[in-house]
Amino acid sequence: MPTTTTKRKRTAARRSGKRRIRAAIIGVGIMHVDLGGYHIRDVDFVAAFDVDRNKVGKDLAEAIYAPPNNTYRFADVPRTGVKVSRGMTHDGIGKYLSKIVQKAPGATDDIVGILKEREVDVVISYLPVGSEEATKWYVEQTLEAGCAFINCIPVFIAREPYWQKRFAQKRLPIIGDDIKSQVGATITHRVLTRLFMDRGVRLDRTYQLNFGGNTDFLNMLERERLESKKISKTNAVTSMLDYPLAETDVHVGPSDYVPWLLDRKWCYIRMEGTTFGDVPLNAELKLEVWDSPNSAGVVIDAIRCCKLALDRGLGGTIVAPSAYFMKSPPRQIPDDRAREGVEDYIKGTNVQTLAGKA
């Protein structure tokens, strides 16, 4: 729940060596209630950026429920005192989103100035899929403002040596790319794929079909914006195999937009394999989730892992949290091992970073 932070609270927290985490969001059950000394209530949303006229200028507590947002309402959020600022559009609105999202009037606000003035620690990007130029623009603003960055969409930043080096030079952490949900299509498909692998069942072919009714799925009707998304989701699954799977034998990606599903996502997974004696083995699964809360349950941990990295003076891509929280990290690691890596990272015994090429 977003809250404002008083100057007195910040001063007291600094004296004790810890302070509340000041985060900015773009666009927009739990694994750790306490993570490295930071409780979920220690996260304060102090800035937000969007281009939708339904949201810009409104209090964040009101904007998160403004249409076209249509998620499950599980909390009554009090007014935060944080107004949504006018962000940069660039390529953030595709041809389908433009039919329901009307851009707010006026120029882009001073993003760097806002981030600095509000002492933001971590910037979280939930820009629409396909926002290549907008993402890179916001990354530059984040670097100039001196903030950590969490990239929740499939524009490849954290896995790229160029950006790793840029963040490392400023001793700023980054976690990315493309957020996994708590229990979503990708992590479920990955775990099942690894199960086949570990139990000696050859995976011959598989598909993952996804349907939803939020603006993410509406935006992804524009197939030209999907290249990086399809790469991200496919590699997340096939990386769990020790052998290649032909492109014709794997299909992973968004399939269609169904408005009445609202923020729900339905996923259908089918896996066809061969077991002992060349006997066929087939598995099918249907998963139904509320898409946005499913993602939020992971990003709340990513925020606190980023803050730990800031506290420790780490810069570049943080390896373990990226591997566990993201679909397209620099290093794909089976999820059980990635989870162990995160626990070690929280303890301070695994603080590996990637700083790009020298």
CATH code reported for the domain at 7-181+293-354: 3.40.50.720
Please write the tens of the pLDDT for every residue from 167-225: 999 999 999 999 999 999 999 999 999 999 999 999 999 999 999 999 999 999 998 89
| d(C-alpha 324, C-alpha 275), whole Å | 29
pLDDT bin (cut points 50, 70, 90) of residue 255 is: confident
Instruction: Give the E-state strand segments of 60-214 in sequence order.
Output: 85-86, 122-125, 148-151, 173-175, 202-212
Give the up-direction half-sphere exposure of residue 139: CA atoms within 13 A in the CB hemisphere. 27
One CATH from 1.20.1250.20, 3.40.50.880, 3.40.50.300, 3.30.360.10 for 185-291: 3.30.360.10
**What is the sign of the dihedral through the CA atoms of 268, 273, 275 and 277?**
positive
Tell me if 298 sits within 8 A of 181, measured CB to CB. Answer: yes
Instruction: State residue 24's pLDDT score.
Output: 72
pLDDT at 18: 67
Across 221-236, average pLDDT: 92
240: nearest Cα among 129, 338, 155: 338
Amino acid 26: pLDDT: 64
Is pLDDT of 356 > 50? yes
How is the chain split into domains, by residue range?
7-181+293-354, 185-291
Cβ neighbours of 227 (radius 10 Å): 13
Share of the chain above pLDDT 70, in %: 94
Q: Is the pLDDT of residue 1 over 60?
A: no
Nearest 5°: the CA angle 322, 326, 329 is: 55
pLDDT one-digit tens code per residue, 10-48: 433 434 456 788 777 665 578 999 999 999 999 999 999
Question: pLDDT (tens digit, 9 = 90+) per residue, 298-312?
Answer: 999 999 999 999 999
Spatial separation of the C-alpha atoms in residues 207 and 254, rounded to whole Å: 11
